[in-house]
Structure 1
């Protein structure tokens, strides 16, 4: 198990702020779509379209806000994103049509993505010698918070009234405000010095880093496997009991909370990150080969197969997350951490927007062959990561050598 409390006061403030925020996120992640379909009465197709539009809008905002956090100070910018989320999420209560829904969910989603980018310089500054390991700790805390929120969401869904769903939305808004208040105890971080000369959006010109962003985005589709593809496959194609949908998520959560920090300790260099991507691709290939075997067998056999596949998938998820933490931080210059991490989030943002549709088309509409194709896609992506990391390291070394020569000449 990871340690219960971080080493320093600022780390504890960040962890507590993250925990408070993710309890609200757990409410929304578990039942947010149901709020709009059951309480607001929007068609599911419109909800999916609106969420995709919001995801695309958030991509550009994250990069811009990450750059702003570098230049203006990360604590204030990060707190501002939480402040924006507070009324934006509360406005869900008045989104009584498609276009109001698109407007408020776009603002809320963009503010959340921007907050992830703005928080990155804080993690690097207060994360000690290994900010990647502290980021892994925060991911474990995130899973604890989401699990607590999911319990509240389960109550709202079980009651099933408009009032219970509105309380769910109110809880999300309150968690954003409370998280921002907790940040007041965090010492501010001085803005990073601007680089003399050169383009402002350096991350968008770093081709190896962009390639790694794209590869991580393809791999990030795996986060939707357990929340989209597996539940639909379990209910529609297997004889496994339906309550196992919750069992699969609980299994994943427990493994992540217990082992994410430990998995990240061994991924302590960009080269190790590339190898972790490769191992993750193999694990996802194996899990995607196992899941189709749950169809056409007795219910207890299907349950055993699915739980085994989820364990294998979650091991791959540990490696994938550890790899992303390492390469995204280690290959980003400290003066542009927010900007680089905002760019790196583009891949996950695209996976968030288009992953569910891709998984439904491949794994549910196409069926068993689609699972095998998905697994092969993950494996090939993992194999491509180590060469991409080596290219990024060569560029990083060349840029560093160029700065030394410029400094010597001046």
Structure 2
């Protein structure tokens, strides 16, 4: 994605506004080709795609940016082009279809939708999602990004840079937040909408009697991701330190789970394939506090999840929330445990440790980062107290795009 240092109004493309001489022709009744006179690479578009994306008022509702559908099945039977030409004055491709419909497409609009590998990748990395920077323990210092809470709340450019850091490096630290239990909520609402879970919309992390979650104990908290038992898992975790423990413990631990997954793929491919393919049952049963509503959350998914492009999308790991029910074929179990053991070994090898202080807000990608905590001890005068909130990545990416491309039309 383009840098947030300049709040760029629209995506850059390899095009210009000068009048261009272009020849348009039909290829095999399946494609339309635009060939520039200066021997630049031609643009080639499927006829069916052009028919499906006609921009005329009969086919496209401009105010809502929505395609109008007049086909019961689809555009396939209407996709044959009868004649094409390029209007140099308007810089438009004009198509006369065999059903007597006419369409025109601006050259810039077509260039932004070029089917070449370079154009497709540019869109995926500059608009869809920023390219992640995976990192190990030795790179922690160089990838750490810090921001001031007040600047994030007041300046869109800083907000954009903070969200970009979360998307690229996977975590960031905010400094000098006020001593206010509403900080986590205010940050979530600065992005967009807070995510409500069975633990509420804002949750407190401190030692509690009759704890309903392992995080509410003073014992060491193993490296994990939150809520692997949710199909729609929380995107980022916002943890505001109100009171830090004065004991030697209470330090944060963290590992880039995607970096570990990459190491597994390269160094231990058999283990990687098992953790990518074998589903695990994750669960959470109980209630949050004496008055909380009971819950029984279950989701079944592998430790390493990929997206439709084969990229890392989600890490599931939470030893305290891994169900004893393992609904996989018997012969897979021992091999899976061997792979899982190697994964946890690499997680520990690549883990970093740091201790936040009062006024710090530690924010991280909960789909990617494994986090934990060292054991600590409360005293009557010093009780460790954090306040947290979640925001989904759909909301974060949406906010980031509105900041990056405020003038985007479609």
Structures share fold, TM-score greater than 0.5: no
TM-score by length of 2: 0.21
**Structure holding more strand per residue:** 2
**Structure holding more helix per residue:** 1
State the structure with bigger RCO (CA 8 A, min sep 6), 1 or 2: 1
Higher Cα radius of gyration:
2
TM-score by length of 1: 0.21
